[in-house]
Amino acid sequence: MNKVALVTGGARGIGRAICLELAQSGYNVVINYLTSSQEAKELQKQIEDEYHVRCLTYKCDVSSTKEVDEMIAFVEKEFKGVDVLVNNAAIDLSNMFHLKNVEDFKRTLEVNVIGAYNVSLRVYKYMLEQKWGRIINIGSTNGINTYYPMCLEYDASKAALNSLTHNLAIQFAPYINVNCIAPGFIGTEKELEGYDEEFLKQEEEKILVGRNGDPKEVAHLVKFLASDEASFINNSIIRIDGGQYGSN
């Protein structure tokens, strides 16, 4: 039987690439989204047409325990449970220090950390019962290094996600492998549209391979970590950044 993968924030950007990659590998896919309902529907159709697996979409704010409960209850009704959880949903409310406010900080932690915690807490029992599961958190190199001080809230949230990864890996051992992927600069549409050419050039000069990453490259790593070939990889923070260096 096909394994079931739930990807939070799966309708666009890196999440979308992950949904496509897992569907292509034969997973039934649940696309969680919050605002991108049209994109989620289109992706669902593409996945069903091209890969002939089951694909569901579900609108849910991962920071809401109640909504996450309802989402997983829905998934458990359609499938038995979630085999592979990809905690990908995140926000970045970076701003200059004098423009920051505590509400933005709280919201960033709520989505990026408590969101991953909420969904993990709701899916782990099924994984433990069947003695197999994968939780793959999408962190960031910003959770390891400070590249831009204005990203304070985002950086802190991704550092906390690293800590959550270690904690859950220990608690769920030996049956659920919990890892965190830390991407560097990945050229999603949203990421590229925000910057001018000069800035992009400067950023790419700090990457040893001389370019930004493709969302598909992150998706390939997710596919590998989800597979049995990766069964000896657990409790790790894995950078995928083309050899990024330097900070401002």
Residues touching ligand NDP: how many (CB under 6 A)? 29
Between CA 225 and CA 82 the distance in angstroms is 15
Encoded tokens for 139: 């962190």
The interface mask with ligand NDP, positions 206-235, x = CB under 6 A, is ------------------------------
117 is catalytic: no
Question: Smallest distance, Å, CB 130 to ligand NDP?
Answer: 26
How far apart are CB 170 and ligand NDP at their closest, in Å?
Answer: 22
Q: What is the CB neighbour count within 10 angstroms for residue 248?
A: 9
Site membership for ligand NDP, residue 104 (CB under 6 A): no
Which residue from 199, 143, 135, 189 is spatially nearest to 167, judged by alpha carbons?
A: 135
Instruction: Report the DSSP pairing between strands 133-138 and 84-87.
Output: parallel
Nearer to ligand NDP, 22 or 138 (CB): 138
Helix spans in the chain (H): 13-24, 37-51, 65-78, 102-109, 115-129, 152-172, 189-193, 197-205, 215-226
Q: Residue 131, SS3?
A: coil
**From 35, 163, 231, 247, residue interacting with ligand NDP (rule: CB under 6 A):** 35
Write down the catalytic residue from 33, 154, 175, 195: 154
CB 93 within 8 A of CB 104: yes
The piece of 19-27, 41-49, 71-79, 181-189 that touches ligand NDP (CB under 6 A) is: 181-189
Judged by the rule CB under 6 A, the positions of this chain that interact with ligand NDP are 8-9, 11-15, 32-36, 61-63, 88-91, 111, 115, 138, 140, 183, 185-186, 188, 190-191
- Which residues are identified as catalytic? 154
